[in-house]
Amino acid sequence: MLRTLLSGDLPRSRMLSATLLVVFIGLALAPFVVSGARSLNVAATICVFVVLVASYDLLLGYTGVVSFAHTMFYGIGAYGVGLALTGMGPSWTAIAVGTVGALLVSLVLALVIGLFSLRVRAIFYAMITLAVASAFAVLASQLSDFTGGEDGLTFKVPELLQPSFHLLEATIMGRAIDGKLITYYLLFFSALGLFLFMLRIVNSPFGRVLQAIRENDFRAEALGYRTVIYRTLANCLSALIATLAGVLMALWLRYVGPKTMLSFEIMTDILLIVVIGGMGTIYGALIGSALFILAQNYLQVLMGQTSAALSGVPFLANLFHPDRWLLWLGVLFVLSVYFFPTGIVGKLRAGTLAKVDRRP
């Protein structure tokens, strides 16, 4: 049953299996085991980023295509729902219209970019996607009458998803069954379904062809596979899933803005998470997203506590000052790349294979 659910792509490592199980259970029970809005927001962000990063890994890790337009599709999904809910009111019909509209826009853009750009060398394609994404971000900022400009848009969601809504009068494990909880589990189960869908894609014959193109596109072409077509399809699939991730984030935040949805910083975060988790491993998106988002939100707090504890040693106290959290985040990234060159998932799987090879 588990093998079928995971499309035959089992973790193949006890340590990896345990880590994945801990992350999964943590996200599944987050509303009941953590307190405070910040902790729940971190868990929801991890759910969304698992989808966003895995969709980018489908393009980079499995197809070998470097794109800087991924946040553009993420933003299209968020703005699509945000504009629909603003114009049509807080209804499920508005969410459906916004989602379908965003998916159509993303599909057309991904198709055009793919067909006209994937014929060129990788570096030129990356520059083209960067230019298109930058133009889209500027456009979203300039069309203030339509998109809200730099201030973005704040909108209402259907009553079922509003924090003030209570499904039950009683509480479960001390947690009220309100709209915030319902929205979180909407994100969680949507992310789970999309994650399993991507596992199915990469373990299908289509996914095997993508990996063949990544390893040697000339050989794949010689075998009769139209590499441009497969790359374009991978680009479209990746864009559509990133769009759905944007829809989920917009529903959670009830806000869309260029810095929140279209910032290049999000693109760099995605790249970092893919490298940390492991390229070409959908599981890497889950572990990498959890580690990176947790570090991004709590490293500064931990450094503040460490700095206070070391107040008697001025040099160390200044070294661990909370304002230097980005420096230490960079150090952690360098160390992770040095000790895990194939990512965390790749390292754990390689360790298991090495043990198997040493058996008599």
| Residue 243 and residue 106 in contact, taking contact as beta carbons nearer than 8 Å | yes
- For 142-169, the DSSP string reads H-HHHH-GGG-EE----GGGSTT-EEEE
Q: Report the pLDDT value the prediction gives residue 358, as an integer from 0 to 100.
A: 47
Residue 223: CATH number of its domain = 1.10.3470
Enumerate long-range contacts of 273-277, CB under 8 Å, 24 or more apart: 273/49, 273/53, 274/53, 274/56, 274/57, 274/60, 274/61, 274/343, 275/333, 275/336, 275/337, 275/343, 276/333, 276/336, 276/337, 276/340, 276/343, 276/344, 277/53, 277/57, 277/343, 277/344, 277/345
Q: Report the pLDDT value the prediction gives residue 321, as an integer from 0 to 100.
A: 82
**Residue of 230, 223, 178, 224 lying closest to 59 (CA atoms):** 230
Mean pLDDT in runs of 10 for the chain (360 residues)? Answer: 79 88 93 86 95 94 88 94 93 94 94 75 78 88 85 91 84 82 94 94 92 87 86 92 96 92 90 89 92 88 85 81 81 81 84 49
Distances (CA, A) of 322 to 265, 269, 300, 306, 330: 20, 20, 5, 9, 14
| Residue 140 and residue 79 in contact, taking contact as beta carbons nearer than 8 Å | yes
| Residue 227 and residue 221 in contact, taking contact as beta carbons nearer than 8 Å | yes
In this structure, the number of other CB atoms found within 10 A of the CB of residue 271 comes to 17
Q: Report the pLDDT value the prediction gives residue 108, as an integer from 0 to 100.
A: 94
**Residue of 106, 133, 124, 137 lying closest to 65 (CA atoms):** 124
Distance separating alpha carbons of residues 266 and 269, to the nearest angstrom = 5
| Residue 67 and residue 126 in contact, taking contact as beta carbons nearer than 8 Å | yes
Task: Please state the domain count of the chain.
Answer: 1
Q: Report the pLDDT value the prediction gives residue 357, as an integer from 0 to 100.
A: 44
Q: Report the pLDDT value the prediction gives residue 103, as an integer from 0 to 100.
A: 96
What is the value of pTM for the model shown? 0.92
Q: Report the pLDDT value the prediction gives residue 42, as an integer from 0 to 100.
A: 94
**Residue of 199, 183, 189, 168 lying closest to 285 (CA atoms):** 199
Distance separating alpha carbons of residues 184 and 178, to the nearest angstrom = 10
Q: How far apart are the first and last CA of the chain?
A: 31
Average pLDDT, the chain: 87
Residue 233's domain spans which residues? 2-357
Helix (H, G, I), strand (E, B) or coil at 36: coil
Instruction: Please name the amino acid found at residue 316.
Output: L
Helix (H, G, I), strand (E, B) or coil at 178: strand
